[in-house]
Structure 1
Amino acid sequence: MVLYFPVAILFVAGIANVQCGRIVGGDETTIEKYPYLVQVEFHLGWGHWEQNCGANILTRTCLLSAAHCFNGGIYRPSDRRVRASTTHRHTGGSVHYVEFERNHPGYHVAAVWDADITVVKLTTPLIYSPSVQRGTIVTQGFQLPDNTPVMHAGWGHTSWGGVFSPVLRHVEMFTINHDLCRERYALLRSTITRNMICAGLLDVGGRDACQGDSGGPLYAGNIIVGVVSWGHRCANETFPGISTSVASYTDWVVANAR
């Protein structure tokens, strides 16, 4: 398995009819199209930082991302920072450091990657602009219908085992029936819970998030419905990519993004 290594949050009643409109199989885009997205950079030592995850803007000081991007035996908040307001990977924009993270208490409990979601607090506030905007998250408990068009965006690998994209990319795919996805991953002895969203082109492949896209968004329209989490390789035709379902945790996100 691969990790796609008022709080003034707005809500919607439902998004069943919303139509959409890195990443494997996608196209280049600009941060102005996805101003709710930031890069998460890891400190690798000796002053060297490298983008390895993404995150979604909730407020000027709070972000939504994947718990596995802010976790581990040697993890410290001081070893993470975010870069906002730039189309280009690891350059430009504004840099903000992490004060602390709140990983969901259910992370790794019901299944290995269940509850892979976190709220991150920054030490300095973001400044809103056309390329930095607060995102909108889905309502608690909303169920995405099968075959809903959804979109990933990020700077991750453009192929399995490949290289990072120097610019922001995006790709459209479709949600996949949960039971079918669960049956597929059972072949690998991996657990798909109801807190996960499967998306891709089933039995076709070629479109997906990939390494370096973890923590970034799964959008339905402009609504953040998922957080990129894990999958079997990238853009696999048999095993679709997995995102954490934000609708399972919306109330928790709101309570912690303060």
Structure 2
Amino acid sequence: MAAILHDPKELTFRQTCGGSILTTTAILSAASCFVNQSRPNPASQYRIRVGSDQPNAGGSVHAVRLITLHPAYDYRTKSADVAVLRVTTLAYSLTVQPVTIAGINYNVSDSDTLFVLDGDRIRVRTSGEFCEGDYGGPVIHASNSVQVGVASYSYQCGVKRYPSLSAKVAYHAVWIANAAR
């Protein structure tokens, strides 16, 4: 996990989104975390924190050098809501490890707690609802610890009768891999 920290004035960075570690220099998150009315915010307004279970303390903080939004991302519909951040080099440790992402042929069965709404989305059924600060974080297929989604949207944070949606990692796996190189 990574905490995505933001401050438009670049003075006091606070967690606004989540992410997952792909490599020592790449973080996967949601494109919606970095866009203000269809325009991307500058990378200098962001930092990432890794190696801590606290959103605004501990671990190590790294500068974001580049934010690459999926070219098909639509801020109105949240379609293709994935982004890869290039960051200063992380050091792997017991608390800083890369995630395994679902490949293009990865399948989540109907009996699992996640299910596919369409080619680009996964709906989270029983694992809770996303709220502020969760967007961009990983949705993990618990049976084998593979990241299958990127938290993207929820209606009325914390109200379980409404679905939370995530971008389907397998659908974007090739793009994610290329952007993380």
TM (norm. structure 2) is: 0.90
- Equivalent residues of 2:128, 2:160 under 8 A apart: no
| Percentage of matched positions with identical amino acids | 32
Quick one: structure 1 residues 245 and 87, their matched pair in 2 at CA, closer, same or farther if it must change by over 3 Å? same
User: Which residue is equivalent to 1:212?
Assistant: 133
Deviations 1:187-239 (A, max 9, x none): xxxxxx420100134xxxx9222111010010013111000000211243432
Gapped regions of structure 2 (runs ≥ 5): none
**Could you give the per-residue CA deviations for residues 16-65 of structure 1, whole angstroms, max 9, x where no partner exists?**
xxxxxxxxxxxxxxxxxxxxx01000014261111010111010001110
Question: Counterpart of 2:82 in structure 1: which amino acid?
Answer: I
**Would you say 1:142 and 2:142 are equivalent positions?**
no
1:243 alignment partner, one of 166, 169, 178? 166
The 2-side partners of 1:218 and 1:176 are apart by 12
Deviations 1:122-158 (A, max 9, x none): 1x2000000001110011143322241xxxxxxxxxx
AA paired with 1:250?
A
Q: Quickly say closer, same or farther: Cα 1:48–1:254, change in 2 above 3 A.
A: same
> In structure 2, the residue corresponding to 1:224 is in which secondary structure?
strand
User: Partner of 1:98 in structure 2?
Assistant: 64
Please state whether the residue corresponding to 1:69 is helix, strand or coil: helix
Pairing 1:254–2:177 present: yes
AA of the residue aligned to 2:30: A
Aligned residues: CA RMSD? 1.9
Cα separation, 2, equivalents of 1:74 and 1:57: 21
Among 75, 100, 108, the residue aligned to 2:41: 75
Distance 1:246 1:114 in 2: 12
* 2-structure distance, mates of 1:90, 1:236: 26
Rounded to whole Å, the distance in 2 between the matches of 1:54 and 1:101 is: 14
Structure whose CA Rg is larger? 1
Q: Which residue of 2 aligns with 1:175?
A: 114
State the partner residue of 1:224: 147
Contact preservation (8 Å) 1:44, 1:50: no
Check conservation: 2:122, 2:165, Cα contact below 8 A: yes
Query: Contact (CA 8 Å) 1:200, 1:235: kept in 2 or not?
Result: no
Residue 103 of structure 2 aligns to a residue whose secondary structure is: coil
Match of 1:49 in 2: 13
After TM superposition, the score normalised by the length of structure 1 is 0.64
Q: Does residue 116 of the first structure (1) align with residue 81 of the second (2)?
A: yes
Cα gap change, 1:240 to 1:74, in 2 (>3 Å): closer
